[in-house]
Amino acid sequence: MIYEDKIELKQAKFLLENEGLANKLTNFLNKPLEKGLSLLPHEVMDKVQLYTNAALDKALRFAIYTMDTTNDATPSNSKHKLAATISGGIGGFFGFTSALVELPISTTIMLRSIAEIAKSHGEDLTDITSRLACLEVLALGSNSEKSDTIESSYFSLRVLLAKEISEAAKFITRKGIIEEGAPLLVKMLNTVSSKFGIAVSQKLAGMALPIVGSISGAAINNLFIDHFQKTAEAHFTIRKLERKYGNEYVKQVFREL
């Protein structure tokens, strides 16, 4: 691997090994996130997975039907952060229930940003598999593993998702539409949702701590999208290098860095 590519891979590894979302929220709020979780009403916690699934369903439909595949401009990370910040501020102002209702909006904004990052790393978004790889970032960025196990957890989760994404891509290509309740799509979304739901709970826990709702909602959404943008940068850097050098070789260099 040439020196420039090794530097890119090293940066990707650094982004993946950086603090998880829970630690970032704890450091930002100067309070342990567990306290926020204890303050969340039970009915909110009961609805988290339901709303997460709904948000991912909308995100999947965006990925398939409306994702821009032509624009090759530099990713507008700051523009998407601003949109997510405004969306989070409105959601936080009206409380936890509105924050859940706002979730599909902020998730779609994040996915649009992730798609731009994917294109900047050479992904062909006319390919349905590349579009679903954008959705994959929401699971990868929700990983709560410690940095010393990030390599195995990152690649293991990708292996788990690879088969499901491949089968879902074939199904969508064959059918041309997203069928409600199609088993292959449900299986893929459930895997992503089981991870992303953890991140959503952590976000809500941060908003539950005693800070003015609209302010915390805006700031936390900004931190939330920034976290997933960095995960996307790392993920699509690795995918780009895998296309150039092969999966196993990139994994080997990643391990040696």
23-68 residue pLDDT tens: 888 887 777 777 777 777 777 777 888 888 888 888 888 777 776 6
Helix 247-256 / helix 3-17 crossing angle, nearest 10 deg: 70
Mean of per-residue pLDDT scores for the chain: 80
Tokens 């929220």 map to which residue? 25
Angstrom distance (rounded) from CA 61 to CA 205: 28
- Give the model's pLDDT for residue 212: 45
pLDDT over 70 at 96, yes or no:
no
> Residue 251: which of 32, 16, 40 has the closest Cα?
16
Under 8 Å between Cβ of 112 and 41: no
Angstrom distance (rounded) from CA 207 to CA 36: 7
Angstrom distance (rounded) from CA 41 to CA 55: 20
- Please indicate whether residue 237 or residue 47 has the higher confidence score (pLDDT): 237
> Residue 139: which of 197, 195, 188, 202 has the closest Cα?
195
The alpha-carbon radius of gyration of the chain (Å, integer) is 18
Question: By CB neighbour count within 10 A (0-12 exposed, 13-18 middle, 19+ buried), where does 146 fall?
Answer: exposed
198-214 residue pLDDT tens: 888 888 887 776 654 44
Q: What is the C-alpha end-to-end distance of the chain, expressed in Å?
A: 12
Q: 10 Å Cβ neighbour count for 176?
A: 7
Helix 150-175 / helix 3-17 crossing angle, nearest 10 deg: 100
- Please indicate whether residue 69 or residue 10 has the higher confidence score (pLDDT): 10
Domain assignments of the chain as residue spans, ordered by start: 3-256
- Predicted model pTM: 0.84
pLDDT over 60 at 95, yes or no:
no
Task: Provide the token pair at 170.
Answer: 């074939």
CA 28 and chain centroid, separation: 20
- Could you say which DSSP state residue 148 is in? G
Kindly state the average pLDDT of the residues 180-186: 77
- Give the model's pLDDT for residue 144: 61
> Residue 201: which of 81, 26, 22, 32 has the closest Cα?
22
CA 196 and chain centroid, separation: 7
